[in-house]
């Protein structure tokens, strides 16, 4: 089979049974792979109301038809599950090389269910799949675990593992691969921990069959030419990394700080991409086969690692009132070793800081306390003292102490580094993500509202944002299912992705087919959430963003005009006024499985 490997394996950790599943080509054509395949499995198999940390939940590692091919940025991997942080469907996407090696082991997807009686890891290789004892690894951080497993399984393997945070069921624990890369958001690491699964180790040498090699050569050449010519993918991203956004977001007055109390940060320059380049950069780096190379290899006194990327930098820095780049970087490395999502960790600690500052609850930490931040990250991972409460995420923490409005979350997941009061579309995007607060799954409206790609639209206007948001959500869902990097899409559009997909699989995908697949995936995810009880009432934003006018700079005086945008968005999507996909919409997308659900 071309593009797909044609193999899906199910592992039941409770019984120890490992078996091949029938490979349904029609499903893979409709849902592509990665995030799309994960959503389909979760829709088909999860009974509503299942506790995400129970053995019944599924954890699905999946790659896509483009993974491991010459297609640009195809070195990525995806994992899907029901999130213990939000209760919604979630997926997380990682760079590095894990996804590619997983595919070279001969698999498109691994569906994991049940709970092992004692700690185990899974070896997924082209010689077979085994459940192996991990008792000696339990308690170890991700660096140590990775080193030990590479020693055991060979240096050509790739390790995706959890750290103490995942073991201790921190609701925003991550899965870390190759030490520095993360399936970061939504608590996927906690789901892994709940199954007593310490790691998935991939190893293999298979190659991906290409349907039309000549055509693939040509389309790859063309796509790479675009990437090399486009100022963002050839210069902007590689030269200064993602943190280059710090200054522009700050100048535009949409760079949140102090738990979104401010929409600008007085010390932005100190944590900018320019400062990273000057002070801590060792070299640029990148995922398997990627010519963009946006990652940063960095060094601080006594330690070396990767990052901080823009979102991490902001979440652990300015949003906590911290501007010491060395501390932020150290906190980033620490999160990777403990296996925690940097964004939710930062957003939870910033919430605790504000609760303390306002005298609502003394969490023992205030804005700007960098050394304490490091200490608190450890407390969270080990659920020690106050860390036990903070491990539940900002919404549960703030609600428990009577102030849910101080949790800067959507559907319980912490927001990203853009204040939507100065980018209305991004506000709508945040409110309507299927995995809760996220700048990517909701649609990266910032691209259009601030960065002018593919063209600039009025960021202060609430009109017309429904369609922009829905289209970006659909494209994003398709890219996460192919599985490729969002950054490539600054230069490449659905026409190019359609051509690559056609050349690889031999199945004809026009640009509209790519977008329609994304639409289908977004809608099945939405149906999953609807079945769990989510609706319009959950498509909302923290009160601060809806009611408190932004206090500073060019965005001063504005709030997000959400209701207007929501109506337009639902209409465009073919959802009813409560945010439920209409039967005719499901039929149009060929989602018959959702009609009686």
Partner 1 sequence: MKVQCRLFASLREKVGAKEKLLDLPRGARVSDALASLGLPSEGSYILLRNGVHAELHEPLSEGDVLSVFPLIAGG
Cβ atoms of 18 and 10 closer than 8 Å: yes
When asked if residue 227 is in the footprint of ligand SF4 (CB under 6 A), the reply is no
Q: Which does 425 bind (CB under 5 to 8 A by kind): ligand SF4, partner 1, none?
A: none
When asked if residue 94 is in the footprint of ligand SF4 (CB under 6 A), the reply is no
When asked if residue 294 is in the footprint of partner 1 (CB under 8 A), the reply is yes
Per CB under 6 A, which region of 36-44, 246-254, 292-300, 339-347 contacts ligand SF4?
A: 292-300
- Rounded least distance, CB 241 to partner 1, Å: 7
When asked if residue 291 is in the footprint of partner 1 (CB under 8 A), the reply is no
Print burial letters for 86-119: b (CB count within 10 Å at least 16), e (below 16). Answer: bbbbbbbbbbbbbbbbbbbbbbbbbbbbbbbeeb
Residue at token pair 């009109």? 463
Per CB under 6 A, which region of 274-282, 291-299, 352-360, 571-579 contacts ligand SF4?
A: 291-299
Query: From residue 479, how far is each of 34, 78, 98, 103, 189 by CA, in Å?
Result: 9, 11, 17, 17, 23
Closest to partner 1 by CB, 260 or 314: 314
Cβ partners under 8 Å of residue 349, min gap 6: 320, 365, 373, 376, 377, 390
Q: Which of 487, 569, 570, 575 binds partner 1 (CB under 8 A)?
A: 487
DSSP H helix total and E strand total for the chain: 25, 17
Per CB under 6 A, which region of 5-13, 289-297, 502-510, 578-586 contacts ligand SF4?
A: 289-297
Cβ partners under 8 Å of residue 526, min gap 6: 434, 575, 579, 581
Closest to ligand SF4 by CB, 277 or 293: 293
Per CB under 6 A, which region of 101-109, 116-124, 224-232, 293-301 contacts ligand SF4?
A: 293-301
When asked if residue 224 is in the footprint of ligand SF4 (CB under 6 A), the reply is no
> Could you tell me which residues are beta bridge partners of residue 285?
295
Cβ atoms of 497 and 476 closer than 8 Å: no
Per CB under 8 A, which region of 7-15, 218-226, 300-308, 451-459 contacts partner 1?
A: 451-459
Q: Print the SS3 string covering 524-561.
A: HHHHHHHHCCCCHHHCCCCHHHHHCCCCCHHHCCCCCC
Size of the site for ligand SF4 (CB under 6 A): 11
Q: Which of 237, 276, 363, 408 binds partner 1 (CB under 8 A)?
A: 237
Pairing of strands 89-94, 77-82: antiparallel
Cβ partners under 8 Å of residue 515, min gap 6: 471, 474, 475, 478, 494
Q: Which of 73, 332, 432, 555 binds ligand SF4 (CB under 6 A)?
A: 73
Binding site for partner 1 (CB under 8 A): 231-232, 235-237, 239-245, 247-248, 251-253, 273-274, 294, 309-311, 416, 439-440, 444, 446-447, 450-453, 456, 459, 486-487, 490, 553-555
Binding site for ligand SF4 (CB under 6 A): 73, 95, 286-287, 290, 292-295, 485, 487
């Amino acid at each position: 089979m071309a593009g797909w490997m044609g193999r899906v394996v199910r592992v039941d950790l409770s019984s120890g049974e490992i078996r091949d599943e029938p490979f349904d080509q029609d499903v893979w054509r409709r849902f592509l792979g990665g995030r799309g395949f994960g959503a389909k499995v979760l829709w088909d198999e999860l009974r509503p109301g299942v506790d995400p940390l129970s053995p019944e939940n599924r954890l699905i590692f999946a790659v896509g038809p483009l993974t491991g091919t010459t297609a640009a940025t195809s070195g990525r991997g995806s994992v899907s599950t029901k999130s213990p942080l939000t209760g919604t469907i979630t997926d997380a996407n990682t760079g590095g090389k894990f996804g590619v090696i997983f595919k070279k082991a001969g698999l498109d997807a691994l569906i994991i269910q049940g709970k092992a009686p004692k700690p185990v890891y899974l070896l997924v290789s082209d010689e077979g799949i085994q459940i192996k004892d991990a008792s000696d690894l339990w308690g170890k951080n991700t660096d140590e675990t990775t080193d030990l497993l590479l020693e055991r399984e060979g240096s050509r393997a790739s390790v995706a593992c959890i750290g103490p945070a995942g073991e201790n069921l921190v609701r925003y624990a991550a899965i870390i691969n190759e030490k520095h890369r993360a399936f970061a958001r939504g608590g996927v690491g906690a789901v892994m921990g709940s199954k007593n699964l310490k790691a998935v180790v991939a190893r293999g040498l298979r190659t991906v069959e290409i349907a039309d090699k000549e055509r693939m050569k040509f389309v790859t050449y063309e796509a790479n030419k675009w990437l090399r010519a486009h100022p963002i993918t050839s210069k902007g991203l590689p030269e200064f990394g993602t943190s280059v956004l710090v200054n522009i977001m700050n100048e535009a007055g949409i760079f949140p700080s102090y738990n979104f109390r401010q929409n600008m940060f007085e010390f932005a320059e100190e944590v900018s991409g320019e400062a990273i380049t000057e002070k801590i950069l060792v070299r640029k780096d990148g995922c398997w086969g990627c010519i963009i190379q946006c990652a940063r290899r960095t060094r601080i006194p006594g330690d070396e690692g990767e990052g901080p990327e823009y979102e991490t930098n902001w979440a652990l820095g300015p949003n906590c009132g911290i501007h010491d780049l060395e501390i932020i970087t150290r906190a980033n490395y620490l999160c990777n070793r403990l296996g925690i999502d940097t964004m939710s960790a930062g957003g939870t600690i910033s919430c605790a800081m504000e609760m303390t500052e306002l005298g609502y609850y003394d969490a023992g930490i205030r804005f700007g306390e960098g050394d304490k931040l490091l200490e608190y990250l450890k407390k969270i991972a080990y659920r020690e003292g106050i860390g036990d409460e903070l491990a539940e995420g900002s919404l549960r923490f703030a609600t428990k102490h009577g102030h849910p409005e101080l949790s800067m979350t959507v559907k319980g997941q912490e927001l990203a580094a853009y204040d939507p009061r100065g980018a209305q579309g991004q506000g709508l995007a945040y409110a309507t993500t299927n995995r809760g607060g996220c700048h990517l799954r909701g649609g990266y409206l910032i691209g259009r509202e601030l960065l002018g790609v593919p063209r600039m639209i009025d960021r202060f206007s609430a009109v017309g944002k429904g369609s922009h948001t829905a289209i970006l959500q659909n494209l994003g869902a398709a890219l996460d299912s192919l599985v490729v990097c969002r950054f490539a899409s600054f230069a490449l559009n659905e026409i190019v992705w359609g051509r690559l997909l056609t050349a690889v699989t031999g199945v004809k995908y026009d640009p509209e087919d790519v977008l329609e697949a994304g639409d289908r995936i977004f809608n099945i995810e939405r149906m999953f959430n609807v079945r769990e009880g989510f609706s319009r009432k959950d498509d909302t934003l923290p009160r601060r963003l809806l009611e408190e006018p932004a206090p500073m700079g060019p965005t001063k005086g504005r709030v997000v005009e959400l209701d207007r945008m929501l109506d337009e968005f639902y209409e465009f999507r073919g959802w009813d006024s409560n945010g439920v996909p209409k039967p005719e919409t499901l039929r149009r997308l060929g989602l018959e499985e959702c009609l009686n659900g």
